A and B are shown apart, each in its own frame.
Chain A
Amino acid sequence: MAQHNPAVPTQHSPHLAHHFDTLEQQYDAANAGMWLFLATEIMLFGALFVAYAVYRFVYPETFFEASRHLAIPAESPWYLRSVFLGTINTTVLLVSSLTMALAVHAAQTGKRNRLVWLLLATMVLGTVFLGIKGLEYFLKYEEHLIPGPNFIFEQANRNQAQLFFLLYFIGTGLHAVHMVIGLGLLAYLVFQSRKGRFTPEWFTPVEMGGLYWHFVDVVWVFLFPLFYLIGLHE
């Protein structure tokens, strides 16, 4: 067998995979892998943001109109306006990041019940976000703002506005897909923590799930102003 670090008395931990020497090394590897994965995610969304920036630069008037129309559709009551729904959603997500961070802390301090409840709270908030997002999509559908043959936009060039809404749907849709995956991960974590799999010595999956969840939140923090807020200053 390989050398073990005598300072870390975890040789026989059931969580230690055969090819690692210590739990610490195993945790470091998982952590580094997660951060690298998030780097690839940044590059994925980055390409989309580049496309958005280019077209915003090329078609500034249309993008202004389209963004304004997305955020404050004509004749909508205030509670159905995207800017309102989006603000609510931003709050929901930021609070869910808080509950997630507290969940990681609960895992670290070995409070099993608290961990389960905080993970569940995070899942509820994530579901609320997706529900509101779905409502927004439905309203866009009713307004004929889904890109495709039924797309109608009269305030500016149709094709250019369609491009804006396409980027909006790819960006928020890809984000929603990430949320759904995140909810799946959270469900797995709830299941595992109820069985008491996580201890203050080993809670790597909780921490990795947290990193992922925070990342998905940060993506929204960029999507929200890009699509909703830039048309609002006038």
Chain B
Amino acid sequence: MSSISTPRPQDNFYHDEKYGFRPWLKSWLLTTDHKRIGILYMFAINFFFAIGGLLATGIRAELVTPAADMVNSEVYNRIFTSHGIIMIFFFLIPSIPATLGNFLIPLMIGAKDLAFPKLNLLSWYIFMLAGFFALYTLFTGGIDTGWTFYTPYSTTYANTGVIPMGIAIFIAGFSSILTGLNFIVTIHKMRAPGMTWFRMPLFVWSHYATSLIQVLGTPVLAMTVILLALERIFRIGIFDPQLGGDPVLFQHLFWFYSHPAVYIMLLPGMAIISELITCFSRKRIFGYKFVAFSSLAIAIFGFLVWGHHMFTSSQSVFAGMVFSLISFVVAVPSAIKVFNWTATMYKGRIYYEAPMLYALGFLGLFIIGGLTGLFLAATAMDVHLHDTYFVVAHFHYIMVGGTLMAYIGGLHFWWPKITGRMYSEIWGRISALVVFAGFNLAFFPQFILGQLGMPRRYSSYPEEFQIYHVLSSAGSSILAIGYALPVVYLLLSLKFGPKAPSNPWGATGLEWTTTSPPPTHNFDKTPVVTEEAYSYNPQDPGIFRAQGKW
């Protein structure tokens, strides 16, 4: 190719040296390209993950010894509260949809962009504004209510930054709603010719279900935060029983959003796993429709189980029984997915590439996290385990072992597509193994701790628990290394990694038919889809093995 011919799209997609810095900055900050917005989100979200991770380090460092010697309990309360809020509202909830979902959904359905590109950019700015308020709260004394904001502590007694953090969460909710709304409309109206509902990748199905929860659940949280702020500012009894309010109503409203929010975090993780398992097993997914509809079932049933957080909060025994029963039911669609992924691998030709190792790690950790959820959904068992480290371990297995494993796995899988570069495969595999080992060491002891009666949210504890806490802190150090590794080798790949072909994994899916990275309008010609997703052939390996010094 001669130097005067038009450069190929991947050569000038992300940076145009000849136009200088300001046009370059403008091309990012005013972009309406879903791919660039996905990358903007990626920067923001990984930044918040780093902050949340630092706070977690503070927690684990304090808990190495039984006494509250590193920080006093007031500081400790702020650390774990900030850790929870940052990780949930500013990392896990937007994580996969806003980054990989944003980048991939239009590509996967053969569209040029999301239905509302400007709204998409707006949602990023809203998220950044929310992030500003969150950081403001952290740097002006933090917040100590626990991420659940339970009343009347949060409205009457806490003298930390409840209001600015409330504003942050309120604003962040709008960005979440806009993303979900955009995805639903896009999936309904922007599919390429021949892309029927049952030819869509399961990634898209799962994001569709996620978006439903974002659109229908988040406004309830918004109203809850408004009521909380009014009570706190004007001392009017909505939730404080001294003033005639009902604190349990707050818990109902809060969990009506926050239980489904667990599925906002988890469903996109499942979305990624469906893609990874099929690709690296070289087999079509087992039971496509079951996996697709189980996503919707999770979204729908997820709205009916919030009461399982309140078995010990004066909820009636009958309500507790009903919520317990539905919580068991919601495990069924999750189990369907796990069985179908396993059946997909059966007699497949399995490649242990780094994304697949992350996917396998997800399977193992999600199974433990899911099954321990059943312990907690059983009313009698929950009375013993409520608010102990058993709960902490359970939801970390789901959120970190599930969502985060899937996010990093997906990041590896689509990294060549996003950046046009191959990362170091060997280091990818090492990081997957280090994360898996570190995670289990960090969180498995917490199941035992909780079962022995160690409550969550305490900075000091009896000496007989120390061994488990030391193990857990040691594990989280290993985990931290596991997360630091990809930061290093993924960033290095931008400079030193070999150029990625369009389809390095030999994967099916429209996103692999265009260049890496894709041109601004995604496809030179609108693709026409003629076959189902995942038409893999076990005989054809077709995995790109990068050559050279890497």
Contact = CB atoms under 8 A, between A and B. Distances in A.
A47 B223 contact: yes
Contacts of A3: 193, 526
Interface residues of B, number: 43
Contact of A40 (B111, B181, B190, B226): B181
A58 interface: yes
A148 interface: yes
B163 to A, nearest CB: 17
B236 A43 contact: no
A148 B226 CA distance: 16
Interface string B155-190: 000000000000000000000010001101110111
Nearest to B250: A51
B184 A166 contact: no
Interface residues of A, number: 36
Given A50-B253, A163-B238, A43 B246 contact: no
Given A19-B521, A159-B237, A162-B237, 7 more contacts: A19-B113, A32-B184, A33-B181, A33-B182, A43-B219, A51-B227, A170-B230
Contacts of A33: 115-116, 181-182, 185
A18 interface: yes
Interface string A1-21: 011000000000000001101
A89 B253 CA distance: 31
B131 interface: no
Nearest to A158: B244
Contact of B216 (A43, A51, A157, A163): A43
Given A50-B253, A51-B249, A32 B185 contact: yes
Interface in B205-238: 215-220, 222-224, 226-227, 230, 234, 236-238
Interface in A88-130: none
A54 B227 CA distance: 14
A163 B181 contact: no
A46 B182 CA distance: 22
Given A28-B189, A39-B215, A166-B236, A54 B246 contact: yes
Contacts of A48: 223
B224 A19 contact: no
B111 A44 contact: no
16 contacts: A2-B525, A19-B115, A19-B190, A25-B190, A29-B186, A29-B189, A36-B181, A36-B215, A43-B217, A47-B223, A47-B224, A50-B253, A54-B246, A147-B234, A162-B244, A170-B227
B243 interface: yes
Nearest to B237: A159
A162 B281 CA distance: 63
Contacts of A46: 219-220
Contacts of B238: 51, 163, 166
B382 to A, nearest CB: 24
Contacts of B218: 40, 43
Given A2-B526, A19-B111, A170-B230, A32 B215 contact: no
Interface of B: 111-117, 177, 181-182, 184-186, 188-190, 193, 215-220, 222-224, 226-227, 230, 234, 236-238, 243-246, 249, 253, 256, 521, 525-526
Interface in A135-175: 147-148, 157, 159-160, 162-163, 166, 170
Nearest to A55: B246
Contact of B188 (A19, A32, A39): A32
Nearest to B231: A166
B253 to A, nearest CB: 6
A51 B218 CA distance: 16
Contacts of B227: 51, 170
A212 B39 CA distance: 33
Nearest to A28: B189
A2 B190 CA distance: 12
A188 interface: no
A2 B191 CA distance: 12
Nearest to B116: A33
Contacts of B220: 43-44, 46-47
A160 B234 CA distance: 15
B234 to A, nearest CB: 6
B112 A19 contact: yes
Contacts of A78: none
Given A33-B116, A40-B218, A47-B223, A159 B244 contact: yes
B226 A170 contact: yes
A18 B114 CA distance: 11
A148 B188 contact: no
A193 B163 CA distance: 42
B253 A47 contact: yes
Contacts of A39: 215-216
B184 A36 contact: yes
A166 B220 CA distance: 18
Contacts of B223: 44-45, 47-48
A41 interface: yes
Contacts of A163: 236-238, 244-245
Most buried by B among A37, A47, A147: A47
A25 B189 CA distance: 7
A160 to B, nearest CB: 5
